[in-house]
Amino acid sequence: MITTKLPDIRTDFPLLCQTSGDLAPIAYLDNAATTQKPQVVIDAMHHFYLHNNANVHRGVYGLAVAATQAYEAVRDKVCRFLNAADRREIVFTKGTTESINLVAQSLGDEVLKPGDEVLITAMEHHSNLIPWQMLCKRIGARLRVIPMDDRGALKLENLSDLLNDRTRILAMVHISNSLGTINPVKKIIQKAREKGILVLVDGAQSVAHLPVDVQDLDCDFFVCSGHKLFGPTGVGVLYGKKSWLERMQPYQYGGEMIKTVSFERSEFADLPHKFEAGTPNIAGVVGLGAAIDYIETIGRPAICYYLANLAEYALHQLREIDGLTIVGNAPSRSCIFSFTMEGIHPHDVATILDQQGVAVRAGHHCTEPVMDFFGIPGTIRASFALYNIKDEVDRLVAGLREAQHIFS
């Protein structure tokens, strides 16, 4: 069902319904940092600890079997959710950051030689920048950057120069967390594929906003975090093509990831266990499963459509405010808005908004090079999720006007 109105889902999120005294509930507009959790996700973990809690994979008794089934069932769910070809291509990590570090660490030596190039974009989150920067430093490879224009859109004219004979890896963000730009990843991946370049897509922001199909994108790796997807903290996903995951060294060593061990040598387990050393975040994975179920009940096309409408409204309202400059005006954008206000520091704006019950983020949003590019130390960022409503846009705007009033 495609509609500008999502079913009344706010009540699914208990934190959004909390009131204290006669204050309105919080207008939570920091969803790019982390999302709120629906009751079903909280309940799923609660239920797990009450009824199924045991360690996974090796237990013979009923409880351990139930825990293992609950855990592995989520792998199937994630596999369907991202449309991976094989459940063994889904590795559970603690988050996007770990997923990227895993790939950079385990694959780096496999594919990168001195003089080779790794390509990222000008708008990467630190998590998709520093691991590659350090890898390049270690190997003696070169980190190169796809530039952007002053709207915050990638400049792709010279892409064929940047995707050259020495390029081995392309790592790029799907939706920028500080600019809101939706990058044309599919088109870029096609170009990279023609040259046999390996591609990692940072989907931390995109999974909650867009339907994602890793086979259609044809990326080699796709990474995301549970906590930005209405799931719990401490759990993330690494999707990787089987042929790559098989070639890669394990990232961590320990229980569950081995076939046989002696003091002299160890033989590693098959996929995906090779990459899941130690006791995983079992309850967290179960919570992630509930989050995916929740999203699929609503439907990603419906979410996408709803957010597009909300973005249009927010953009219009923000543009009405004199002295407000939106940072990030790419033609294709998501429901994340960064902006600065003349004469008022972002932190002061955020504090004043907070006092009015509007939660936004201020700072560089872990994208310092983006701030450097625009010559600013930081922005105010309002980022919306499926439970946000127009009324909250209005509260944001009213709060911004109040800040202007105080500083006038």
Partner 1 sequence: MSELSNLYQQTILRHNKSPYHYGRPETSDVVLEAYNPLCGDKYKIYLDVVEDRIDKAYFFGYGCAISKASTSVLVQRLEGKKLSAILELCQHFLESLVRENADIAEDEELAAFSAARQFPGRLKCASLSWDSLIEYLEISEE
Active-site residue list: 366
Cβ at position 267, least distance to partner 1 in Å: 9
Binding flag, residue 359, partner 1 (CB under 8 A):
no
Residue 261 binds which one of partner 1, a second copy, ligand PLP, none, with CB within 5 to 8 A depending on kind? a second copy
Binding flag, residue 45, a second copy (CB under 8 A):
yes
| Size of the residue set binding a second copy (CB under 8 A) | 85
Contact positions with a second copy (CB under 8 A) in 306-335: none
Enclosing H/E stretch for 349: helix 346-355
Among 38, 250, 328, 346, binds partner 1 (CB under 8 A): 346
Cβ at position 64, least distance to ligand PLP in Å: 13
Residue 345 binds which one of ligand PLP, partner 1, a second copy, none, with CB within 5 to 8 A depending on kind? partner 1
Give the span between the Cα atoms of 28 and 38, in whole angstroms: 14
Residue 145 binds which one of a second copy, partner 1, ligand PLP, none, with CB within 5 to 8 A depending on kind? a second copy
Contact positions with partner 1 (CB under 8 A) in 365-384: 371, 377-378
Residue 265 binds which one of ligand PLP, partner 1, a second copy, none, with CB within 5 to 8 A depending on kind? a second copy
Residue 244 binds which one of a second copy, partner 1, ligand PLP, none, with CB within 5 to 8 A depending on kind? none
Of the pair 138, 187, the CB lying nearest a second copy is at 138
DSSP state of 152: S
CB contact burial 288-322 (16+ within 10 A = b; e otherwise)? bbbbbbbbeebebebbbbbbeebbebbbeebeebe
Cα 173 to Cα 163, 297, 308: the distances in Å are 16, 27, 19
Binding flag, residue 213, partner 1 (CB under 8 A):
no
Record the tokens describing residue 180, joined without a space: 């809101």
- Phi, psi angle pair for 7, to nearest 5°: -55, 160
Residue 39: is it exposed, middle or buried by C-beta count within 10 angstroms (0-12/13-18/19+)? middle
Cα 260 to Cα 31, 248, 266: the distances in Å are 44, 18, 6
User: Per-residue contact track with a second copy, 375 to 404, x per CB under 8 A?
Assistant: ------------------------------
What is the torsion angle, in degrees rounded to the nearest 10, for the CA atoms of residue 281, residue 282, residue 285 and residue 289?
-170
Among 138, 319, 347, 390, binds partner 1 (CB under 8 A): 347
Enclosing H/E stretch for 27: strand 27-28
Region near a second copy per CB under 8 A, out of 157-165, 191-199, 368-376, 397-405: 368-376
Among 11, 18, 69, 279, binds partner 1 (CB under 8 A): 69
Enclosing H/E stretch for 319: helix 300-319
Record the tokens describing residue 30, joined without a space: 């920091």
Q: Dihedral sign, CA of 194, 224, 7, 290?
A: positive
CA nearest 161: which of 124, 113, 117? Answer: 117
Give the span between the Cα atoms of 340 and 45, in whole angstroms: 39
| Size of the residue set binding ligand PLP (CB under 6 A) | 17
Of the pair 352, 385, the CB lying nearest ligand PLP is at 385
CA nearest 334: which of 353, 318, 367, 310? Answer: 310
User: Per-residue contact track with ligand PLP, 348 to 367, x per CB under 6 A?
Assistant: ------------------x-
Contact positions with ligand PLP (CB under 6 A) in 131-190: 173, 177
Region near partner 1 per CB under 8 A, out of 27-35, 160-168, 279-287, 350-358: 350-358
Of the pair 203, 399, the CB lying nearest ligand PLP is at 203
Among 35, 52, 68, 97, binds ligand PLP (CB under 6 A): 97
**Which residue blocks in 141-181 are alpha helix, DSSP H?**
159-162
Among 190, 279, 297, 355, binds partner 1 (CB under 8 A): 355
Q: Dihedral sign, CA of 85, 86, 91, 92?
A: positive
Give the span between the Cα atoms of 225 and 231, in whole angstroms: 8
Among 39, 53, 59, 166, binds partner 1 (CB under 8 A): 59
Contact positions with a second copy (CB under 8 A) in 118-157: 125-127, 129-131, 133-134, 143, 145
